[in-house]
Amino acid sequence: MVERSERAELRRLMERLAEGDRTAFGPVFVLLWPQLRAFAVRFIGAADGEDAAQAALLKVFSRASEYDRERDALPWAIGIAAWECRTLRRRRERRREESALAPAVSSAPSPEEATIDRDLRAAAEAVLGELRPIDVETIISIASGQRAVQGATFRKRAERALARFRLAWRARHGSE
Amino acid sequence: MAPNELLLEVRARRAYELGRLRWSLRFAPAVAAAFVVAVGCGRPLDVCGALGAAVLLLAVGLSFAGGEAGRAVTPGLVAGSFALVLPLAVRTIGHFCDSAACMSLCMPACVVGGALAGAFLALRAARDERGRVFLAAGVVIAGLVGSLGCTLAGLSGVVGMLAGVLVAGTPVLLAARR
């Protein structure tokens, strides 16, 4: 709790500072800094409170020449500190949201990659359409891992199906 | 005081000085406007440039320094605007001074403008209980701003304006303080 006399003293000192009296600077600093720090720590916690209080203190001194002598100095300074606390909190929240979004964004394909992938799928489907149903079924089995037949039979079917797929691809697109 | 608090105090002091300089520069548009009006009314560019630069430096410097002199900047600029506008307004009624010794309208306009400036400064000094520093700074700023217009009547116009400031300002100040 701030003493009434301390508050009145701060007001007098701020008036002098607003007038350009530099000798009031030190006493204003000594009176104001603990108040702003205590307020900011209560408002947003110890970790961010110190940063917010420092930013608020610099802003108070930066705007000291505009100080209106009709106003009480302490609520004015606390108002600036509250604003700084809110700004810092918003900035931290935004950064957290961005960092949470970042992996999802990086794992998603870029528009260029998505276009290439779509074109390749369309080309492969077109080539598959030219193959016999048994070859299509075998290639789908390779891709999905679900096999109707096992062992050497499947291996031979797979070799033949892939060889025909390559031939059909080369015939259509000129290269593999 | 802890070392980081000392560092914070240095940063706070720098913030204060920069903020004060920025605040003092608020007079720049008013000085620029006086310069544009004077040049627009045909005053020589070099004379107006020199006077405008002097007013700007003085207004920003005194405001930055603060104290009694800093408080005199706004009243000084307002008072000076009377002495600036009156001689220039003479042109709007179709009178053109063809020599520096024009006594029909230009010189009286400078003296009257100076008298208005002096009375205004004296009243402000008396009302706000200001001292010599306030009056001196106010008269210098008003004189420089007024000179932007009063050079219309040459050096005698400037002298006439300053005489008007003293002749009107002194009795008004004495009367207001009684």
Q: Which of B5, B9, B67 sits opposite A19 (nearest CB)?
A: B67
pLDDT at residue B49 is higher than 80: yes
Q: Which of A20, A33, A58 sits opposite B67 (nearest CB)?
A: A20
Q: Which of A17, A21, A29 sits opposite B9 (nearest CB)?
A: A29
Mean per-residue pLDDT of chain A: 83
Contact call for B15 and A20, based on CB within 8 A: no
ipTM computed for the complex: 0.79
pLDDT at A122: 72
The residues near B165 (Cβ < 8 Å, ≥ 6 apart) are: B83, B114, B115, B117, B118, B121, B139, B142, B143
Cα–chain-centroid distance for residue A55? 23
Taking contacts as CB-CB distances below 8 angstroms, the residues of chain A near B71 are 19
Q: Which of A19, A33, A61 sits opposite B16 (nearest CB)?
A: A61
Query: What share of chain A in percent tops pLDDT 90?
Result: 34
Name which of A145-154, B48-57, B79-88, B138-147 the model is least confident about: A145-154
- Residue-wise pLDDT tens digits, B21-37: 999 999 999 999 999 98
The burial class, CB within 10 Å (0-12 / 13-18 / 19+), for B150 is buried
Q: What is the dihedral of CA A77, A80, A82, A87, to 10 degrees?
A: -160
DSSP state of A104: H
Inter-chain CB pairs, A–B, below 8 Å = 47
A55 to chain B, closest Cα gap in Å: 10
Q: Residue written as tokens 């290439």?
A: A116
Q: Is the pTM of this model over 0.80?
A: no
- The residue segments making up the domain with residue B8 are 3-176
What is the count of structural domains for chain B? 1
CA distances from A55 to A49, A78, B3, B141 (A): 10, 12, 18, 37
Measured between CB atoms, does A16 come within 8 Å of chain B? no
DSSP state of B26: G
Contact call for A57 and B70, based on CB within 8 A: no
Q: How far apart are CA B43 and CA B150, in angstroms?
A: 10
pLDDT at residue A67 is higher than 60: yes
pLDDT at residue A37 is higher than 90: yes
Contact call for A64 and B16, based on CB within 8 A: yes
Q: How far apart are CA A8 and CA B68, in angstroms?
A: 23
